[in-house]
Chains A and B, each alone.
Chain A
Amino acid sequence: MGFFDFLSGNKKNKGSKNIAKDRLKLVLVHDRASMSPEVMEALRRELIEVISKYVDVDNNNIEVELNDNNNQATLVANIPINQIKRSRNV
């Protein structure tokens, strides 16, 4: 760090705005991921509906969770299958 940088208040790690931005992005992943129970229930219901078209699923043992690790939010669905439906395509 040169003398004049010191005078003008320049630091090596220039500017705190990037810290602000990174922290905000992370905190918003968490904020946005906390969906209301109603929304989660609707998501679960519609997921089952779609998947049931193709496979016979065990409705009572389905788990749908929203996780967020580090910088990535993920939707994890654990859906036990009873039976795969017979293909109707030729």
Chain B
Amino acid sequence: MGEVIVITSGKGGVGKTTTTANIGTALAKLNYKVVLVDTDIGLRNLDVVLGLENRIVYDIVDVVKGNCRLNQALIKDKRLEGLCLLPAAQTKDKNAISIEEIKKLTNELSEIFDYVIVDCPAGIEQGFKNAIAGADRAIVVATPEVSSVRDADRIIGLLEANEIKETRLVINRLRPQMVKQGDMMDIEDILDILSIKLIGVIPEDEFIIVSTNRGEPAVNNPDSMAGKAYLNTARRIAGEEDVPFLELEVVESFLDKILKIFKK
């Protein structure tokens, strides 16, 4: 039996889909069988982030309504053995699937795959309730901003109320330079407020935009800081212990160095 993991955040635009794509790709690179399930019905995006948008024939709604077999809707990533996508429907709305239907689906998928990673829509309405319904554990994505942390707190409460066994935090888009200046909350600030265990810290990285432009997840690029951080996160998810958190060193500019000399 594989595990069902939902990636959620409450607030939109904090990087749920990017996180899903990268963690999923990283787990497949670690030789696990992985399926990514996009439950953001009506606002499908995981397909373009993965570069699989041209190969969609059937979607998740077709599967649960019996319009096709599960196998027909699963898109195999030809670049990476063991990675599949079950795309969301683009023309239906979030009530097209019921909680019972999604539970049955994720259960079925967990018999085939080691990891079933569910990309959750923003918000706390039906789409959220569906996405978490079949989950064994949850990963909450938050950025170091007041609005994102507040929403994450609400989501963590809802996940507890729904008896999700294990919830972990990914801090996304951390900017070491701003943390150093005292203008961005650091990891400890956020953990202190949310009282939840950390499973990944992803630095802000312009390469994420490039990789999304291309439809190739950043974990495929060994030079990308965010890619490396996602790979480490995936290893922790897979149960590897003592995976170090990246040293997020600030690269000092020439001016910074001169100013430092004068301050001494």
Contact = CB atoms under 8 A, between A and B. Distances in A.
Given A7-B259, A21-B193, A32 B157 contact: yes
Interface string A13-29: 01111101101110110
Contact of B185 (A14, A20, A27, A28): A20
B149 A24 contact: yes
Nearest to A21: B189
Most B Cβ at <10 Å: residue of A15, A25, A27: A15
Majority-rule SS of B interface residues: helix
Question: Contact size class for A?
Answer: 10 to 19
B183 A4 contact: no
B30 interface: no
B243 interface: no
Contacts of A27: 146, 150
B256 A20 contact: no
B104 interface: no
Interface of A: 4, 7-9, 14-18, 20-21, 23-25, 27-28, 31-32
Given A20-B145, A21-B189, A25-B193, 11 more contacts: A4-B259, A17-B179, A18-B182, A20-B146, A20-B185, A24-B146, A24-B149, A24-B150, A24-B193, A28-B150, A28-B193
